[in-house]
DNA sequence: CGAGGCCGTCAAGAATAATCAACGAAGCCT
DNA sequence: AGGCTTCGTTGATTATTCTTGACGGCCTCG
């Protein structure tokens, strides 16, 4: 029977592609995830290829190994590699009066109430190998020095004028590997204070 | 093998209870939903009893018959029959000065930015048999006349001082079946204009 | 009351998913 | 190169889910 007639609009996604993306974002191999979740690696392989449609209980077991809830899994917005990095020239500039200009990070403002911070990373500073992860979203602009930013499976050394924008659910880490201090103007949402 | 060892914390919920609640909220029988979704009624019965854990594809097919997305399904907050109606005496009153008092509809303010409206329903007014349904939440207080409010599988004739509060995702409908105009102070979120 | 309809549930067989074990490919080290 | 490890994939068997068809309960109408 032709079991599958779902909206192929999700392109390479489907549940399988979704699982693969999530797994890779968290830096896990099929076998490692299988071990944590208490299932076999073969099962994960089949699911990621959309050759089977897992039962809820199986999918839940697997996500427990990440860990991630079913709601998070289906809600998480995995738009095609939603631009994480914005180089200096890519910031859209908003003129404000004659002497003032805002340079907007990210696309149009959706429904995000952001809160900005001015951070300084001394040489060698590191938020730690245990990746950060929390609710909301965060963005930032490097104003001085260089900052190594890791977000999921993406990593980039940002310099003055460069920026980032990502969902804080994705594991992330900041490091200043240079010899001079680094300044960043960052923002997070929801306003957590 | 003892396949199920999920957190029974969800009490009577689980995926099965969740599906049952959603189905009943939409006023569908197992058979009717099965017909729409293109599955058998037996399957839905087994799922709702948590005697099986459906495959994602099956669950998706079923939800398509509602219709509802997987994300909505797992995100939807189905706290135990989260009070929909608040009778006049149940409104918590917030004193504000000596001559003013606010009567608060609903529980504590969570993270909802509401927007209020003053509506008037002439006799016979009806939002239509095609139930309303949209994002966000809405609340209201009847100030004059009588209003028949239908929310999911619950229905009640509200008079002056009575109120409602529900998630707009649940199908709803307002009717003035009386001979006099009806006034309602209502609010919805997020501010949709 | 008896027929008919619709409800939810259940048992047995058909269809689908998960496990187990093996395979080829790629990296790494001596 | 050769040996070793780890990766993701695949075929055959076992376990689970879905369909089919039938049951008792409840209601309504004649």
- Name the average pLDDT for chain A: 72
Counting one residue from chain A and one from chain B, the pairs whose CB atoms sit within 8 A come to: 47
Q: Residue A59: is its pLDDT beyond 70?
A: yes
SS3 category, B81: coil
- pLDDT, position B52: 93
Hey, is the C-beta of B71 within 8 angstroms of any chain A C-beta? yes
Instruction: Please tell me if residue A9 touches chain B, with a CB cutoff of 8 Å.
Output: no
pLDDT digits (tens, 9 = 90+) for B37-71: 999 999 999 999 999 999 999 999 999 888 888 88
User: Residue B128 — very low, low, confident or very high, per pLDDT cuts 50/70/90?
Assistant: confident
Split at pLDDT 50, 70, 90, the class of B144 is: confident
- The C-alpha atoms of residue B9 and residue B184 are separated, in whole angstroms, by 39
Token match 């001015």: residue? Answer: A118
Cα distances (angstroms) measured from residue B113 to each of A47, A150, A157, B187, B191? 40, 34, 39, 10, 7
CA dist B162 and B184 (Å) reads 10
Tokens encoding B184: 């309602």
CB–CB contact A57 B4 (8 Å): yes
Distance B27 CA to C9 C1' (A): 20
Identify the residue with better confidence: A100 or B149.
Answer: B149
Please give the average per-residue pLDDT across B114-121, as a whole number.
66
| Position with higher pLDDT, A78 vs A162 | A162
> What would the two tokens of residue B176 be?
């003035």
pLDDT of residue B8: 32
pLDDT at B151: 78
Task: Check if the beta carbon of residue B116 is closer than 8 Å to that of residue B170.
Answer: no
For chain B, the straight-line distance linking the first and the last C-alpha, in angstroms and rounded, comes to: 54
Positive or negative torsion for Cα A48, A71, B190, B158: positive
Q: B189 CB near a chain A CB, below 8 Å?
A: no
Mean pLDDT of A81-97: 48
């Amino acid at each position: 029977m032709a079991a599958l007639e779902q909206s192929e609009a999700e392109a390479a996604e489907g549940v399988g592609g979704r699982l693969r993306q999530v797994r890779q974002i968290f830096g896990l191999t099929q076998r490692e995830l299988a071990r944590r979740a208490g299932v076999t690696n073969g099962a994960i392989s089949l699911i990621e290829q959309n050759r089977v449609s897992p039962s809820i209980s199986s999918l839940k077991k697997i996500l427990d190994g990440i860990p991630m809830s079913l709601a998070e899994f289906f809600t998480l917005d995995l738009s095609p590699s939603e631009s994480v990095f914005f180089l200096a020239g890519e910031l859209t500039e908003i003129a404000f009066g004659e002497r003032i200009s805002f340079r907007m990070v990210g696309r149009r403002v959706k429904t995000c109430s952001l809160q900005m911070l001015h951070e300084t990373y001394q040489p060698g500073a590191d938020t730690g190998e245990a990746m950060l992860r929390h609710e909301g979203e965060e963005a930032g602009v490097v104003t001085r020095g260089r900052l190594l930013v890791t977000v999921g499976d993406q990593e980039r050394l940002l310099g003055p004028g460069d920026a980032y924008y990502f969902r804080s659910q994705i594991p992330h880490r900041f490091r200043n590997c240079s010899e001079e201090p680094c300044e960043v103007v960052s923002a997070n949402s929801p306003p957590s204070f």
